[in-house]
Amino acid sequence: MDVLDLSRFQFATTNIFHFFFVPFTVGLSLIIATIETFAYFTRLQVWGTLTRFFGHLFVINFAVGVVTGIVQEFQFGMNWAEYARFVGNIFGVPLALEVLMAFFLESTFLGLWWFGRDRLPRPLHLASIWLVALGSTVSAFWIIMANAWMQHPVGYTVVGDEAHLTSFAAVALNYKAWLYFGHIWFSALCIGSFFVLGVSAWHLARGHRPELFSRSLKLGVAVALLGTVGSALVGHRQGQVMVVDQPMKFAAIEAIWETTPPGAGESIFALPSQSERRNLINLELPYLGSFLAYNSFDRSIRGINDIEREYDERYGPGDYTPPVWPVYWSFRVMVGLGLLMLLTALVGVWLWWRGRLETSRRYLRFLPWMIPAPFIANFTGWIATEMGRQPWIVQGLMFTRDGVSALNATTVFVGLIGFWLVYLMLIGLDIYLLGTTARAGIHAPEHQMTAAPAPHYLEE
C-alpha cells in the first residue's frame, strides 16, 4: 500500500472508531432528557431512578469517547495537508463552531447535570440535561455540514489553489447538509433506543425490577419506531437527491453499468466485476429502482459507463468509477439492518398493543442481540457514502490523490498502528464498562457499591 492508500485506510478506520461513540451520545442523551422530563412532571421515583441508571451509562460513553474526536482534526494537518490547505478557509468554520458552540455546551452542562443532582434547583437540573442533548446534536450538525460541503460544495470561489468562502449562509443552508443531518439524527435515535431496549429486555427476562424496566422498554419501542421510520424516509430522499448531484455514486450503489430502459429494476443480489465493467450475476425486482430514484415507474437510470464517458469529457481522461463491490454491498447491509430494526420496532408496538410486551420471552431474549445492529448500519452507511464519491475528496473540485500529505509510507503506517492500538483499547474499555454496568442493573443503596461499580440510583 502506498501513502495514499494508507492515509485513506487510516482516516476511514479512525472515523469508524470515532463514530462508535458519537451517534450513541446523541441518541442516548435525548432519551435520558425525555426520561428526566417524565420524572420532573410526574414526580415518580421510578423515572428518576431510570434517569440515573441510563445517565451513568451515558457518562461512561462520553468520558471514554470524547478523546477519539480530537484525533480526527489532527489528521487533516498530518495526513491531508494539501486538502487542508485547499479547503481550510471553508472547512475550519464548522469545525471551530463545533468546538465553541457545541462541545463546550455539552461537556459543561453534563458536569452540572451529573454532579449537581442534589445541589441545583429541579428546573435548572432538567434544563442541564436538555442542554447536553442540544450540545451533542449541534455538534453532530456542524460536522455533518462540513462533510456535506465535500459532497456538494456551495458558497465558495476558487482563488489560485485555495477555495475561499463567499457565503456562509449557502454553506449552512446546504440542502445536502440538512438531509445528511436528518438521516444521522434519526440513526442516532435508533442506536440510543436499541441500546435502551436491549438493556431493559435483558433485565426483564431475568425478572429484575420490572416496575422500572417495563417503562424504559416501552419508551425504547416508541423511539425505535420514530428512528427507523425517520431514517428510512430521509434516506429515501437522500437517494433521490444523489441521482441528480452524484449520479456516479448512485449508479455504483445500484451496480448499474449501462443506462437502463424506462422502468429500471432494483438490484437485490449482484456480483459486480470492476474489470469487466458489468455484473456477473444480478437479481432485481422490476420497476422498483425507478420508483426509488424518481417516485415514478417509467424513468431510466444512467449507468456507470455512460457517466464515466461524460466525466472524461468534463474533467479530462481518468478513472471516475468508485469501487463498486464494497459500495454496493455496504449499502445493502445498511438497508437490510434498517429493515430488520423497523420490523423489530413494529413487533414491539404490536406486542405492546396486545399487552404482551414485557412478557414475551422470545422478544425479550432477542432484543439484546439487536444492540449492535444500528452501529453496523451506521458504519456501512458511511462506507457507501464515502467510498461512493471516490475519486473525489471534494466533489468535482479536488481528487483524493491530490489532498494527501507528502509523507513516506513508513511514517503513515506507524501512525496507523498507533491510532489502532489506542482506539481499540478505548472501544474495548467502553464496551467492558458499559456491559458491566448495564448487566449489574439497579440495586438498593446498601448493596449498589458491591453489586455494581456505580453510585446508588435510588432516592434516599
**List of E strands, 160-238:** 162-165
Cell numbers standing for residue 273? 466485476
Torsion of CA 241, 245, 249, 255, to 10 degrees: 70
Backbone Cα Rg of the chain: 24
When mean pLDDT is compared over 23-37, 111-125, 396-410, the highest value belongs to 23-37
pLDDT at 457 over 90: no
User: Of the candidates 139, 143, 136, which has an alpha carbon nearest to the alpha carbon of residue 113?
Assistant: 136
Q: Is residue 385 within 8 Å of residue 377, measured between CB atoms?
A: no
DSSP-assigned beta bridge partners for residue 159: 162
Provide the residue ranges of all domains of the chain, joining segments of one domain with +. 3-246+323-440, 247-322
Average pLDDT, the chain: 88
What is the per-residue pLDDT for 241?
92
Q: Which is higher by pLDDT, 441 or 186?
A: 186
The Cα 258–Cα 214 span in angstroms is 53
What is the per-residue pLDDT for 460?
44
What is the per-residue pLDDT for 165?
87
What percent of the chain stands above pLDDT 90? 46
CA distance to 30, 336, 344, 417, per residue, from 232 (Å): 20, 11, 14, 36
Q: What is the pTM of this model?
A: 0.90
Please report how the helices 122-151 and 104-115 are oriented relative to each other, as an axis angle in degrees rounded to 10.
150
Model pLDDT for residues 92-141, shown as the tens digit of each residue: 777 777 777 777 788 888 888 888 887 889 999 999 999 999 988 988 88
When mean pLDDT is compared over 168-177, 339-348, 430-439, the highest value belongs to 339-348
Mean pLDDT value across residues 275-304: 91
What is the per-residue pLDDT for 16?
80
Q: 455-458 contacts: CB < 8 A, separation 24 or more?
A: 455/52, 455/56, 457/49, 457/52, 457/53, 457/56, 458/45, 458/49
- Per-residue confidence band for 453, with pLDDT thresholds at 50, 70 and 90: low
Model pLDDT for residues 32-67, shown as the tens digit of each residue: 999 999 999 998 889 989 998 999 898 888 877 766
Q: Which of 165-179, 220-234, 444-458 has the lowest mean pLDDT?
A: 444-458
Give ∠ CA 347-350-352 in degrees, rounded to 5.
110
Model pLDDT for residues 308-336, shown as the tens digit of each residue: 999 999 998 989 999 999 999 999 999 99
pLDDT at 253 over 60: yes
The Cα 455–Cα 118 span in angstroms is 14
The Cα 112–Cα 104 span in angstroms is 12
